[in-house]
Amino acid sequence: MKVLPFKIPKPKNEALIYQEDRERVFYGQLHQHQEIQISLIVKGSGSFIVADTINEYKENDILVIGGYIPHVFKSDSHKSDESIMCSLFFKKDAFGKHFFELTDMAETKAFFKDSEYGLKVLSKKHKITNQFNKLRHQNKIERVATLFKIISLISTAETTPLSSFVYKKKYSDNEGKRMNNVFEYAMEKFYEPITLEEIADRAHMNKNSFCRYFKKRTNKTFFQFLIEIRIENACKLINSNPDLSISLISEQCGFRTIANFNRKFKEIKGVTPTDYRRQR
């Protein structure tokens, strides 16, 4: 696994960076960078956290992550022997402080506003993917033109936010490492009973301090966040194992009773697990 620092530096004198990540699994470390990131998942699937929210990603997904938003990808290594992601990185002022404020760029306003919470593209994916496929063989000037085309397509596409709350202060390295320890533990041990003492210890804090610390940075309690991780993993099991009973999925995702599982699932997804399965 590639071990990364929390703050990921990019080359200083490049307005646009094109990057291909080819790994057995993606990252696994919470990190941030000042650049906006637009990514195409070419191969692989798994979960990823953006700010306060856990999401599922899969092949052909197109994701936008705003600058300085902490995020982490966790691949489902048992589903694929390789993960591939193509990404563009750029700062809003990379082409001039007021470039995207020009009248000619008015249609990009929603893109930059929505990117502050991260977004997943739901429509025009084929057209955007075609643009991504050109990048590998383009020179730097051509890539800039392709970036503008991709932004234009996303600006007029249907999208959905990746997070609901972003902590406005930039994380320090120590904060990033602390939150990484918490997220990593929750994503690895979600199916087990996790006590407040355990998770506070992972953050090297006492229980009361940890509760305040986590709530301030995510706008939710740790156990709300843990339930969301469990429900997201339950959705993956429902999608990938049609013969697995709902009660067994509930148990494998850390719920003590099927009644609690059904209630929490409906609160988060708007439907019961059984109805969710019928809709797939």
| Domain layout of the chain by residue ranges | 17-161, 173-279
Q: Which whole number is the average pLDDT over 239-248?
A: 92
Q: Residue 1 has what pLDDT?
A: 32
Q: Which fold has domain 173-279?
A: Arc Repressor Mutant, subunit A (1.10.10)
Per-residue pLDDT band at 2 (split at 50, 70, 90): very low
Rounded CA-CA distance 214/42 in Å is 33
pTM: 0.86
Q: Which whole number is the average pLDDT over 181-199?
A: 94
- Per-residue pLDDT at 92 exceeds 80: yes
β-strand partners of 27 = 74
Q: Residue 26 has what pLDDT?
A: 73
Q: Residue 9 has what pLDDT?
A: 58
- Per-residue pLDDT at 172 exceeds 90: no
Q: Which whole number is the average pLDDT over 7-33?
A: 78
Structure-block tokens of residue 102: 């020009």
Indicate the class that CATH gives domain 17-161: mainly beta
Q: What is the mean pLDDT of the chain?
A: 90
Over the stretch 47-57, which tens digit does the pLDDT of each residue have? Answer: 899 988 999 99
> pLDDT above 90 covers what percent of the chain?
72
- Per-residue pLDDT at 244 exceeds 70: yes
Helices assigned H by DSSP within the chain: 109-115, 125-135, 140-155, 173-189, 196-202, 207-218, 222-240, 246-252, 258-269, 273-279
- Per-residue pLDDT at 5 exceeds 60: no
Per-residue pLDDT band at 42 (split at 50, 70, 90): very high
Q: Residue 7 has what pLDDT?
A: 57
* C-beta separation of 31 from 4 below 8 A: yes
Q: How many CB atoms lie within 10 A of CB 20?
A: 11
Q: Residue 274 has what pLDDT?
A: 94
* C-beta separation of 42 from 135 below 8 A: no
